[in-house]
Structure 1
Amino acid sequence: MIISATEQMVFQLPSIEDMNFLRLHNRCYQPRITHIDQLPHHRHLSATIQFPSTQRSSLISSSTISSLSLSKPTFKFSRIPRINASVVEGKGEERHEEGLSNNGTEMDYLAPDGNVYLNTLRLVECSMFAAVTGLVYFLSNSLSIENYFGCFFSLPIVISSLRWGVAAGRKTMVATAMLLFVLSGPVKALTYLLTHGIIGLTMGSLWRLQANWTVSIFLCTIARATGAMGYVFTSSFLIRENILALITVNIHASLSYVFAATGINTIPSMNFIYTLFGILVLINSGFFVFLLHLLYSVFLTRLGMRTLLRLPTWLDKGL
């Protein structure tokens, strides 16, 4: 009797008790995953798989282990929010947030319209203007050619005031004076302040405030006359001689000679001489300031700064 190969294969199915026993132990070997601990700033993943003791493992047969199907645990990772960086310069100081962009995550300190870039550009321009002015003034005094460049010594202060404000013009004037103080001494520095620094700062401040030319010329004339008188008093103190008295005495003698020559039997008083001297100083300063206004207007217009100027109608049409 021939038995086929398929009939020789005998499958021994487990009984109901064996299936219950396997189901019970299959539950015991299911891995348990604990919850993910979350910390305030960092997320740690901790998974703990607990197995029964070694005594229970000895009861499991090889067929039971092969029948177990352990599924891979899946973990969901949540996205950690980005922490905005803040710069703290020191204790008690406020946070530096000027360079933050609109979303607050990047710092654009070197942007062309940023505060740091503009402050650096202002500092560099004021320093360069002060250095060039101090050097030219020092060389012109050393070579005795100050009269040829005297009208340009106030121009850097005016440009700084127009571009960056009155404070920048004042810093340029002070920096130039300090440079001349180091190079030539206090006398040259004080002379620069009295003859060029005061008028440059006054003109630059008034032009920055868009003042009328009438007001600007009047105030700059007073500043120029005050600087000239200060220069006279300073020179008198240094040489131990009253230069103002010498000037007034010479004017008195000249007028007395003119009156005598013309047949006027009158001797001018000293009050009249002082008044005449003051009027002459104001007229001289007024003409000088008016020429400076014309020269600086033409020069700044050629430099492309016409929008910053408030020119009179007749000059605006001419330019």
Structure 2
Amino acid sequence: MFPPKISQLSSPFSVFRPNPHRVSFLQPHFPSLPLPCASHGQKLSCELKPPLSSNFPSFTSISISLPSSNLLKVSEIGAPVCSGENEDKGISAELNDLSRNGVVYKKTLQLVECSMFAALTGLVYFLSNSLAIENYFSCFFSLPIVISSMRWGVDAGRKTLVATTMLLLVLSGPVKALTFLLKHGLVGFTMGTLWRSGASWNLSILVCTIVRSLGAVGFVLISSFLIRENILALITINIHASLTLLLTASGVNIIPSMGAIYSLFGILVLLNSGSFMFLLHLLYSVFLTRLGMKSSLRLPRWLERAI
């Protein structure tokens, strides 16, 4: 595209009409100007026009006609050849960003917090088992995993869970590590995942209750395998004997079947786990609210009013 031609200058406001084969420009009027000769078969034509009016200075419009063939061509713009170098520079600049909002700083802070939470949980669990005070601190064993999941996402909660389990495996052996994983680790990871996704309390308590119940049954089965004794059978036999004694004392001559005993055992485990998880939700909600993470929680209305 060449510059447009000014066809006429009749008023201060001129009309521009583009012409791809004509180039026009304004030049002050002189009696005669020699024009260069045509080269390479190009045709040059000059037209001298008189001034349009006496009110304006005299100008001469000189038009140059060029052949229709495109003498000058610009190649099409293609993809850059060194795109990989630009990407590498962008990645390196991103990795070299050590500010508080940089990727490296956030990942380093996440790794440090996860490792500190894992070390604290493993140390507290190890000392509580050694001093036989596990029942007094068992409600806090899942809290570091929940905090990691709420602050940095599900990936951070999984890292804290795995790091704590591996630390306990080294310090206390596989039995204590499996005990923590089944009774506390999976519960904290499930709770942190559901709270991170914005699930309601009803769904969170229900799912955590099921996970806690399965963990308790798994712990019983593992303990039975280790001591070479069927603890689950002993529990169900004791329940059967106690229920039969109660029915006989009340004057009802009915002997419950083993299916009813297993059902009763499952209901009792679910009730125990459900009440524990409700209290755990209540405790963790108050604790996280005091830490300034209330905006990330989805609390019921009655608890928000109380807090």
Superposition TM-score, scaled by structure 1 size: 0.68
Q: Greater Rg, structure 1 or structure 2?
A: 1
- 5+ residue gaps, structure 1, are 1-85, 89-93, 102-106
| 1:279 alignment counterpart | 267
| 1:82 alignment counterpart | none
Q: 1:253 aligns with which of 237, 241, 244?
A: 241
Quick one: distance in 2 between partners of 1:143 and 1:108?
47
CA shift for structure 1 position 99:
5.5
* Percent of paired sites with the same residue: 69
User: Does 2:184 align with 1:201?
Assistant: no
Distance change in 2, residues 1:87/1:187 (3 Å): farther
| 2:90 alignment counterpart | 97
CA shift for structure 1 position 317:
1.3
The structure with the largest strand share of the pair is: 2
Q: Equivalent residues in 2 for 1:1-319 (5 A)? A: 95=88, 97-98=90-91, 100=93, 109-319=97-307
Deviations 1:125-183 (A, max 9, x none): 00000000000000000000000000000000000000000010011000000000000
Deviations 1:20-54 (A, max 9, x none): xxxxxxxxxxxxxxxxxxxxxxxxxxxxxxxxxxx
Q: Which residue identity does 2:90 align to in structure 1?
A: E
Quick one: distance in 2 between partners of 1:239 and 1:246?
13
Quick one: distance in 2 between partners of 1:309 and 1:97?
36
Q: Which residue identity does 2:209 align to in structure 1?
A: T
CA shift for structure 1 position 108:
5.0
RMSD value, Cα: 1.7
Quick one: distance in 2 between partners of 1:226 and 1:99?
47
Quick one: distance in 2 between partners of 1:99 and 1:121?
20
Distance change in 2, residues 1:96/1:268 (3 Å): farther
CA shift for structure 1 position 187:
0.6
CA shift for structure 1 position 97:
2.2
Q: How many pairs were matched up? A: 224
Quick one: distance in 2 between partners of 1:315 and 1:197?
26
CA shift for structure 1 position 123:
0.2
CA shift for structure 1 position 96:
5.7
Quick one: distance in 2 between partners of 1:157 and 1:258?
43
Deviations 1:99-128 (A, max 9, x none): 637xxxxx7521100000000000000000
Q: Which residue identity does 2:186 align to in structure 1?
A: I
| 1:24 alignment counterpart | none
- Maintained 8 Å contact 1:98/1:115: no
| 2:78 alignment counterpart | none
Give the SS at the match of 2:132.
coil
